[in-house]
A = this chain, B = another copy of it.
Amino acid sequence: MIKKRLFTPGPTPVPESVMLRMAEPIIHHRNPEFREILTRVHANLQYLFQTAQPVMVLSCSGTGGVESTFVSLFSPGDKIISVNGGKFGERWVKMPKTFGLTVVEHKVAWGTAPGVDDIRALLKQHPDAKAVYLVHSETSTGAATDVQKLAGVIREESKALVCVDGITAVGAHEMRFDEWGIDVCVTGSQKGLMIPPGLAFIALSPRAVAAMEVSTMPRFYLDLKKALKSWKENDTPWTPAVSLVVGVDAALQMIRAEGIENIWDRHRTLATALRAGIEAIGLKLFSSTPSFAVTPVWVPEGVEWKKFNGTLKARHGITIAGGQDEFQGKIFRISHLGYYDALDMVTIMAAIEWTLAECSYPVTLGKGVGAVMRHFLKP
C-alpha cells in the first residue's frame, strides 16, 4: 500500500474537513444560505489580503483572474510594464498584447527577481505606463519578488498601478494590500487557499476601481465592473462555482483560526527547513531569491530526471513538479504551499533521499531529514 502525496504548487492538498464540506448537498446561489456564505467569504478574503477594499470571487482559473484585470482596468493602446522571469511572467506579457495593450517587457533571468533600480529606470523611461505587473512568487522558477519594496518605488516614481500576480504567493508570503499600496492582487483557489482549482480572487484599490471607470476594453464574463457591482450586494453576476465557494468558506475559517501572520511564519519555516535538508545532502537550490511557496532544486549531476521522478511517484506515491522550457529535466520543484506542516517536510525529504539512493546517487540516508528536523528546533 502506497499513499499518494501531492507536493505540487497547485493543485495543493485539500484539508479533509474542507473536502467533506464541499461534498454536502448543493445549494442554490440565490438562496439566503448561500448569500450568508458569500458574505463571510468576502469578509475573510479581505483579512487574507489585509485590505478594506473589495476582493471579488470569479469562477475561472488564476489565468482568467489576471485576464479580468487587463480587460477591466485598461483600454487598447494603454502602456503597461510587465516583469517576465518565468512561465507566468511570460504569460502576463503575451496576454495583454492580445488585448491591444502596449507592453514594455522587463525580462529577468529565470530564478531571479526584478531589482529596484531597474524598475525605477523603466518608470523614468516610460512615464506614461499605466501599470506595472509583478509576479510575487513565480511558480515556474520558485523565485520571489520583493513586492513591498517595489510597490514603494512604483508609488514614489509614478502614478502607475501596482498589479501583483499573487497566485502562488497569497497565504505563503506576507501581503499587506492596503499598507503596501498595492492596487491589484490576484490569487487562485488551488494554492494557499487549499481548495480545488476553479476560482480566482481579485482585490482592487480605489485607484484601480477609478481606472475601471474609464476603461473601454470589451469584456463580459470577466468584467470586474459587473463583479464589483454584485460584490457590493454579496452576490455574483453569473452562477458561481457553488461547491468551491463553500470550500473556500471552510478554508478561510481555518486561515482565520490559525492567523495570517502565523501562516506566513509557517511557510517561511517550512521552506527554510526543507532547504536546510536539501543543502545538507549536497543538492543546490535553483533560485537566488527563493519563494516560501515552492523550492526549486537542480537535478544533481548523474541523476536522470525521468527516472528520479518516476521512482518518486511509483515507489513513494509522491508528485512533485519538474522544470519548464529550457529547465525541463534540469530542475525539480517541491511545493509547501497551503496545507503542509513540519512532518510533511520530513516526509518529502525522506522520499527524496530514498529516491536519490535508488537512482544510485551517493546520499547518507537521514542526513537531510536530520537537518530539516534540527531547523524546526531553532529558536
Query: What residues of chain A have their CB less than 8 Å away from a CB belonging to chain B?
Result: 4, 6, 8, 10-14, 19-20, 22-29, 31, 59-64, 67, 95, 98-100, 188, 190, 196-198, 218-222, 238-244, 319
Q: Which residues of B contact A95 (CB under 8 A)?
A: 220
Q: Are A196 and B13 in contact (CB under 8 A)?
A: no
Question: For residue A242, which residues in chain B have a CB less than 8 angstroms away from its CB?
Answer: 11, 190, 196-198
Bound complex: CA A100 to CA B8 (Å): 41
Establish whether residues B19 and A23, one from each chain, have CB atoms under 8 Å apart when the complex forms. Answer: yes
**Contact partner, A28, options B11, B23, B64, B222, Cβ 8 Å:** B11
With contacts A14-B25, A22-B23, A239-B61 known, is A67 near B197, CB below 8 A? Answer: no
- Of A25, A62, A219, chain B has the most CB atoms within 10 Å of the CB of A25
A68 — nearest CB in chain B belongs to which residue?
A: B221
Residue of B nearest to A100 (CB): B218
Shortest distance between the CB of A27 and any CB in chain B (Å): 7
- What separation, in Å, do the CA atoms of A220 and B244 have in the docked complex? 23
**How far, in whole Å, are A260 and B198 apart by their CA atoms in the complex?**
28
Closest 7 CB pairs of A and B: A198-B241, A23-B23, A196-B243, A64-B221, A19-B23, A63-B238, A61-B238
Q: How far apart are the CA atoms of A252 and B25 in the complex, in Å?
A: 19
Nearest chain B CB to A12 CB, angstrom units: 8
Q: How near does chain B come to A72, taking the closest CB pair, in angstroms?
A: 13
Known contacts A23-B22, A23-B23, A238-B61; A243/B28 CB under 8 A:
no
Q: A22-B243, A59-B198, A98-B219 are in contact. List 15 more A-B contacts (CB 8 A).
A: A6-B25, A10-B239, A11-B26, A12-B26, A19-B25, A22-B23, A60-B60, A61-B221, A61-B239, A61-B240, A63-B238, A63-B239, A64-B238, A196-B244, A243-B244
Q: Which residue of B lies closest to A9 (CB)?
A: B28
Q: Is there an interface contact between B99 and A220, defined as CB atoms closer than 8 Å?
A: yes
Closest to A94 in B: B220
Q: How far is the CA of A118 from the CA of B220 in the complex (A)?
A: 29
Interchain CB contact under 8 A, B59 and A61? yes
Q: Do B4 and A241 touch (CB < 8 A)?
A: no
B31 close to A13 (CB less than 8 A): no
Bound form: Cα–Cα A22–B241 in Å: 13
B62 with A239: CB separation less than 8 A: yes
- A196, B24: Cα distance in complex, Å: 11
Whether B319 pairs with A31 at a CB distance below 8 angstroms is yes
Cα distance A260–B154 in the bound complex, in angstroms:
58
User: Which among B29, B198, B219 is the interface contact of A244 at CB below 8 angstroms?
Assistant: B198
Bound CA span A197–B188, Å: 17
Distance in Å: Cβ of A55 to nearest Cβ of chain B:
19
Say whether A11 contacts B27, CB under 8 Å: yes
- How distant is the Cα of A99 from the Cα of B219 in the complex, in angstroms? 7
- Least CB distance from A5 to B in Å reads 9
> Are A14 and B26 closer than 8 Å at their CB atoms?
yes
Task: Report the Cα distance A220→B140, complex, angstroms.
Answer: 20
Q: Can you list 5 residue pairs at the A/B interface with Cβ under 8 Å?
A: A11-B29, A59-B59, A67-B221, A95-B220, A99-B218
Q: What chain B residues lie within 8 Å of A63 (beta carbons)?
A: 220-221, 238-239
- Judging by beta carbons under 8 Å apart, are A22 and B25 in contact? no
Whether B188 pairs with A239 at a CB distance below 8 angstroms is yes
* Distance between A293 CB and nearest chain B CB, rounded to angstroms: 15
Q: Contacts of A31 on B, CB cut-off 8 Å?
A: 319
Among residues of B, the one whose C-beta sits closest to the C-beta of A31 is B319
CA distance A95 to B218 in the complex (A): 10
Query: CA A346 – CA B95 in complex, angstroms?
Result: 52
Looking at the assembled complex, report how far the CB atom of A187 sits from the nearest CB atom of chain B, in whole angstroms.
13
